[in-house]
A = this chain, B = another copy of it.
Amino acid sequence: MVLKSFVEVNPESHFPLENLPYGIFKSGNEADPPRPCIAIGDFVFNLSAVSSAGLFNGPLLQNSDCFHQTSLNKFVGMGRPAWKEARSTIQKLLSFDEPTVRDNATLREESLLPMNKVQMLLPIVIGDYTDFFSSMYHARNCGIMFRGPDNAIQPNWFNLPIAYHGRASSIVVSGTDLIRPRGQAHPVGSSTPYFGPSRKLDFELEMAAVVGPGNELGKPVDVTEAADHIFGLVLMNDWSARDIQAWEYVPLGPFLGKSFGTTISPWIVTLDALGPFSCDAPKQEPQPLPYLVEKNSKNYDISLEVRVKTTAPEHESVLTKSNFKHLYWTITQQLAHHTINGCNLRPGDLLGTGTISGPEPESLGCLLELTWNGKNPLSFNGLPRMFLEDGDEVVLTGFCKGDGYKVGFGTCSGKSQETVDLIRSNEKEKLRMNEALMSLLLRLDSVPGIDPTVREVRRKVSRRIVGLQEILDAVADSRVEGLQEMMRKWEEVVVEMEEGVWEDERCRTTVEGREMERFCFEKFGFRCMERFLRGV
């Protein structure tokens, strides 16, 4: 049976009356503060307006200011009885045969806003963010890659939901661009470590639980009561720089390989809305310790998909199809484990599931697994790829399939900004690069040039440096209007430099050549430069 609203809802929409996910929106009117809303079809339903109209008339919400806040923290902290009251009120107000909003033109206009006319913000203020590691398939694959098949899954993994503390400050809402992180990666032989923009930028298909009421420090939450501490779920992309991560993570775990950004969907789908799609969690063997034993161990049947849009539209492709139900440890076990030592959770805290990989090769939740750490290229509709390139947009989506309707999460998307934007928007960054190029030129001058080969190489490296300075200026000076022209000029410079330098193999093998290459990797990350450097 499908519930019917007076707001038109396409059967393919993620947001029918059965869903009612929560978010925070900002209207086009600059003076309006951000306010809570729910999604219905292609509209957002402004809960602040509904509350001001006195329509939340149940005992828990009628005198509450929880919908006049700029985040959902106050509301999620009120607990399940308030959530149920809100759901029932909203479902009634939006139903086909309820005239209160339907027939009140002013209220309707005030409370129902087209989704494409508003901006969705982070729905919650996140005090602490924790990321679990709850897919056995993901744990096994990572283990095989980094520690070999014999130590693939550590003995602790089957006894407790492994997790690490993540970075809360860099969690952003869907649609926010990221700048490719710079950092260190493994040195080759006895060299210094690689430093520069990450060469192994990856996504991670995850979901995350939003904590409702918290617990006091020192008072663990019983696993049988854990569901009452979870308000709902969001989609999450836990961006990862695999080269940075691999070099830094022993012995204290992931740090800068993750903390440059994590994207979540603007919509929180409540556990109440997900209830009809619950299913049995996988059998756990060995049986967990008593504090993790649940009477009914439940997952949810949520179909998940990752799509990548490259800057060339013809290479858009679906990279993976997975499902929330593949998780070994349930979100309630995660929460009970998190608090068993007395750790306090607060409303709005985020508990990520970890990458949700399934058993099949096409259900793996990140490029690390899909390309086996860059060994087997993946085809983006014919375009071979190992990791993400700048400009690639990663779009996560997920929904539950009901009979004639969907309960979905919308999308969670983001892309890595082109480095050119960084140079253009940051004068200091440009200056620093220019200074570094100048100092390279000076150092080059100090190389004794008696041997003709060395002289020749020096001349060529000089030309490369000058060429780089030209590129840098071209990039920095051009405005968005001049993008086409800039790109043309750039390509010309690159071609000219390729001809001048790369005809001579020796250039690539001298000390200066290598230093040059390192410099470029450190300072630049964009494709033209890489193409130039690799001479392809």
Contacts and interface: CB of A to CB of B under 8 A. Distances in A.
Contact-size category for A: 35 or more
Given A165-B166, A165-B167, A261-B217, A252 B340 contact: no
Contact of A195 (B164, B260, B291): B291
A160 B172 contact: no
Contact of A133 (B214, B218, B252, B349): B252
A252 B250 CA distance: 8
Given A169-B344, A286-B192, A346-B169, A251 B252 contact: no
Interface string A149-183: 00000111001101111111110100000110111
A2 interface: no
A244 interface: yes
A516 interface: no
A169 B343 contact: yes
Given A169-B343, A344-B169, A426 B192 contact: no
Nearest to A217: B170
A127 interface: yes
A156 B257 CA distance: 14
Contact of A154 (B165, B251, B259, B422): B251
B250 A341 contact: no
B253 A254 contact: yes
A164 B244 CA distance: 14
A161 to B, nearest CB: 10
Contact of A164 (B130, B165, B219): B165
A184 B159 contact: yes
A341 B251 contact: no
A133 B253 CA distance: 12
B165 A261 contact: no
B156 A248 contact: yes
A256 interface: yes
A128 B168 contact: yes
Nearest to A195: B289
Interface in A331-376: 337-338, 340-346, 349
A363 B162 CA distance: 33
Interface in A277-308: 286, 289-291
Interface string A464-503: 0000000000000000000000000000000000000000
Nearest 9 CB-CB pairs, A to B? A253-B253, A181-B341, A179-B218, A165-B165, A164-B252, A256-B341, A259-B343, A260-B341, A252-B253
Given A168-B168, A169-B349, A184-B289, 17 more contacts: A155-B187, A156-B250, A159-B193, A160-B247, A163-B252, A165-B166, A170-B217, A170-B342, A178-B218, A179-B218, A182-B220, A182-B340, A249-B251, A252-B253, A257-B341, A259-B343, A260-B343
16 contacts: A128-B168, A159-B193, A160-B248, A162-B251, A162-B252, A164-B164, A164-B165, A167-B343, A169-B343, A169-B344, A179-B342, A182-B342, A249-B253, A250-B251, A256-B338, A260-B343
